[in-house]
Chains A and B, each alone.
Chain A
Amino acid sequence: MTTIDQTTSRPTQAVIRGVALALIGVAVCVAPLYLDTFWLRTGLTVASAAVGAIGLTILVGTTGQLSFAHPFLMAGAAVTYVTLADNPVNTAHLGLGLPPAAAAVLAIFAAGALGLAASPLASRLSGIYLGIATLSLVFIGQHILENWTAASGGFFGRPVPPMSLFGLSLADSPTPPVLLGVPLQREELLWYLSAAVIVVAWIAGRNVVHSRVGRSLAAVRDSEVLAATNGVNVRSAKRGAYIASSMFAGAAGVLFALTTGSVAPETFNLGLAISFLAMVVVGGLGSVAGACMGAAFIAGLPLLLQEFSDQLPLIVQTGEAGGMQASTATSYLAGALIVLCMLFEPRGLVGLATRGRSLATRALRRTRILTSRATHN
């Protein structure tokens, strides 16, 4: 009986997975037609965080390298995008007037180049030592951007030119494209762009983790000497992981800039670096799905708490007294969750999900055995 169940469970799982993916796909496509701006904005914020977190989980989870440089790389990409895409005629800042799509791609490569520039650190140092070294990059980056106002806009930042794809500008317009009777404005259009970027990042991330490259990285994490003995080029593996991770950070930076509509050096601070680490730890180190779950939790929660502060006990709007601010509450929750993860489920949210799934399949199998017994008797 059990053997039959085991052989049938694989295809069943594939079917369940396919159906689930299709449902998620449909939900993502129709969501902007029903959700209001708040939910769309939250989704966009989570999406850009998720792309960055996927990059970081490759580095931290698979290679065992700790890096705080994500805000630095995001800032680099965001400022590059804005500078390349901005129209030189009507901006007060540096602008080259490139097509936004080209600017975005170049910005991602710029982040990769920053990663390459920092990679001597990454290929020589490991773990916590690399973490400390990359910490300095955050401060250097902020210092440069705050002073180089022509590119960054300085303290007040500068507006971000909208993305434009195939002649369609992803911005509010008096004559928006219409889908099923719903006009698609800036948030709706960015939603679809973000969804596409997440899919690409997800597939790329899974490919890196589950390919020869990913296995070599995991080998390096286990033991550098042993990896070298087996012909793995340790330095270039570490450098490659760092550059790949940087490009994910770059994509996250561009998405973030497009979502918020303005970049300011101030945003890309140490707090953001720590949030990213929290995302990959809470989600489950080395798991692409986990990175996305962690991003939803760490980046999405403060927005939700803020929005629903009047309905929640203890939480107040920014600036009000008599309670906790949403961001503070998130810090507490995230902190508690990290400690709980370390104690009870080191694989994080993704570990919880697998546990839930195996519980469900076991329950399913049991009921099936019971019903088949009942029919036999």
Chain B
Amino acid sequence: MLKVTQLHVRYGTSVTALTDVSLGVGEGEVVAVLGANGAGKSTLLRALSGTLPHHGGQVTRGSIEFEGRDLLGVSPRRIVRAGLIQSPEGRRIFKGLSVEENLRVAAAGAGIPTRHAATVRRTVWDLFPRLEQRREQSAGLLSGGEQQMLAIGRALMAQPRLLLLDEPSLGLAPQMVDSVGAIIEEIHRRGTSVLLVEQNAAMALAVSDRAVVLASGSVCATGPADHLAASDELRDLYLGGTPAPTLDGAPQ
């Protein structure tokens, strides 16, 4: 359903963040994107969700196709309405709004009719009962884990067919990491494809069908998740065995 071909991304005029990245997500698949800090994982998601311009970045070459539609140059709003939404890195929630208002904003942004939005909200409450208990509370007062749940729940309000998750396990206790994994599996079971960016390779590979490893802005390994989980190659990459390939202009 998603096909990225030879994508090049630059921030400003000098920082090349992605070089020649190609990957795909099939209908009903969970695909993990792994890579060290600064490898370009978040950049990839921003390119897909159309929010690169908000970060001073731009796609300089390549193409992004989602369900047969070209997404290059399309506004984030259109992309959300086409069924692709990003849950950004770092528990980004609207801190000044209540928990419920966070969900309502997302429904409005995605153009979900008000009546239907209540039903969708019900499904989100079912997935995250803790959030329902705190629905009136200001979102900024939630714990880190709850904020992460809210960020995911908010993305689900758009009823996406492809969900982009950027490091959902960031800063969570090991037990919470497992429950994030369980939630991703549940979202997947309900029929949403997921592109999952993670530092926690074990969790990511456990829940995904395939994985793509980025290093310094380009794809350095790709394959079935269980295959990669067993490979020495990935372990080396994560433990700093093989030096990551460097590219012209790519940040070190």
Whether A216 lies near B54 (C-beta < 8 A) is: no
Interface membership of A219, Cβ < 8 A: yes
Q: Determine the distance from Cα of A222 to Cα of B54 in the docked complex, in whole angstroms.
A: 15
Q: Determine the distance from Cα of A228 to Cα of B81 in the docked complex, in whole angstroms.
A: 12
Q: For B111, what are the chain A residues with a Cβ–Cβ distance below 8 Å?
A: 231
Query: Which one of A218, A223, A231, A233 lies within 8 Å of B92 (CB-CB)?
Result: A223
Whether B158 lies near A230 (C-beta < 8 A) is: yes
Interface membership of B116, Cβ < 8 A: no
Interface membership of B97, Cβ < 8 A: yes
Interface mask (B67-102 → A, CB under 8 Å = 1, otherwise 0): 000000001110011000110100011111100010
Given A226-B92, A229-B88, check contact A215 B158 (CB 8 Å): no
| Closest B residue, CB atoms, query A224 | B54
Whether A222 lies near B96 (C-beta < 8 A) is: yes
CB interface residues, A 179-220, toward B, < 8 Å:
212, 215-216, 218-219
Query: Which one of A222, A228, A231 lies within 8 Å of B94 (CB-CB)?
Result: A222
Whether B49 lies near A212 (C-beta < 8 A) is: no
Interface membership of A232, Cβ < 8 A: yes
Q: How far in angstroms is the closest Cβ of chain B from A239?
A: 14
Q: For B94, what are the chain A residues with a Cβ–Cβ distance below 8 Å?
A: 218-219, 222-223, 226-227
Q: For B223, what are the chain A residues with a Cβ–Cβ distance below 8 Å?
A: none
Whether A225 lies near B108 (C-beta < 8 A) is: no
Given A221-B96, A222-B95, A223-B94, check contact A229 B76 (CB 8 Å): yes
Q: Tell which of A212, A216, A219 has the most Cβ of chain B within 10 Å.
A: A219
Query: Which one of A219, A229, A233 lies within 8 Å of B51 (CB-CB)?
Result: A229
Given A230-B106, A230-B109, check contact A215 B92 (CB 8 Å): no
Interface membership of B154, Cβ < 8 A: yes
Interface membership of B105, Cβ < 8 A: yes
Interface membership of B114, Cβ < 8 A: yes
Whether A212 lies near B104 (C-beta < 8 A) is: yes
Q: Tell which of A215, A216, A219, A223 has the most Cβ of chain B within 10 Å.
A: A215
Q: How far in angstroms is the closest Cβ of chain A from B147?
A: 12
Q: For B108, what are the chain A residues with a Cβ–Cβ distance below 8 Å?
A: 212, 215-216, 231-232
Interface residues on A, range: 10 to 19
Q: For A232, what are the chain B residues with a Cβ–Cβ distance below 8 Å?
A: 77, 105, 108-109
Query: Which one of B88, B105, B110 lies within 8 Å of A219 (CB-CB)?
Result: B105
Q: Determine the distance from Cα of A231 to Cα of B49 in the docked complex, in whole angstroms.
A: 10
CB interface residues, B 153-174, toward A, < 8 Å:
154-155, 158
Q: Determine the distance from Cα of A232 to Cα of B95 in the docked complex, in whole angstroms.
A: 16
Interface mask (B113-157 → A, CB under 8 Å = 1, otherwise 0): 010000000000000000000000000000000000000001100
Whether A215 lies near B49 (C-beta < 8 A) is: no
Interface membership of B190, Cβ < 8 A: no
Q: For A218, what are the chain B residues with a Cβ–Cβ distance below 8 Å?
A: 94, 96-97, 101, 105
Whether B106 lies near A231 (C-beta < 8 A) is: yes
Whether B77 lies near A231 (C-beta < 8 A) is: yes
Q: Determine the distance from Cα of A227 to Cα of B77 in the docked complex, in whole angstroms.
A: 10
Q: For B189, what are the chain A residues with a Cβ–Cβ distance below 8 Å?
A: none
Q: Determine the distance from Cα of A229 to Cα of B49 in the docked complex, in whole angstroms.
A: 7
Whether A225 lies near B106 (C-beta < 8 A) is: no
Interface mask (B35-66 → A, CB under 8 Å = 1, otherwise 0): 00000000000000101001100000000000
Whether B51 lies near A230 (C-beta < 8 A) is: no
Query: Which one of A221, A223, A224, A227 lies within 8 Å of B109 (CB-CB)?
Result: A227
Q: For B101, what are the chain A residues with a Cβ–Cβ distance below 8 Å?
A: 215, 218
Q: Determine the distance from Cα of A227 to Cα of B96 in the docked complex, in whole angstroms.
A: 12
Q: Determine the distance from Cα of A223 to Cα of B105 in the docked complex, in whole angstroms.
A: 12
Whether A231 lies near B104 (C-beta < 8 A) is: no
| Closest B residue, CB atoms, query A212 | B108
Q: How far in angstroms is the closest Cβ of chain B from A232?
A: 4
Q: Determine the distance from Cα of A226 to Cα of B155 in the docked complex, in whole angstroms.
A: 11
Q: For B51, what are the chain A residues with a Cβ–Cβ distance below 8 Å?
A: 225, 228-229
Q: For B114, what are the chain A residues with a Cβ–Cβ distance below 8 Å?
A: 212
Given contacts A212-B108, A212-B114, 6 further A-B contacts (CB under 8 A): A215-B108, A222-B96, A226-B92, A228-B54, A229-B92, A231-B111
- On B, residues with C-beta under 8 Å from A are 49, 51, 54-55, 75-77, 80-81, 85-86, 88, 92-97, 101, 104-106, 108-111, 114, 154-155, 158
- On A, residues with C-beta under 8 Å from B are 212, 215-216, 218-219, 221-233
Chain A to chain B contacts (Cβ below 8 Å), 6 pairs? A223-B94, A226-B92, A229-B49, A230-B154, A232-B108, A232-B109
| The 6 A-B residue pairs with the shortest CB-CB distance in the complex, in nearest-first order | A231-B109, A231-B80, A212-B108, A230-B109, A222-B94, A232-B109
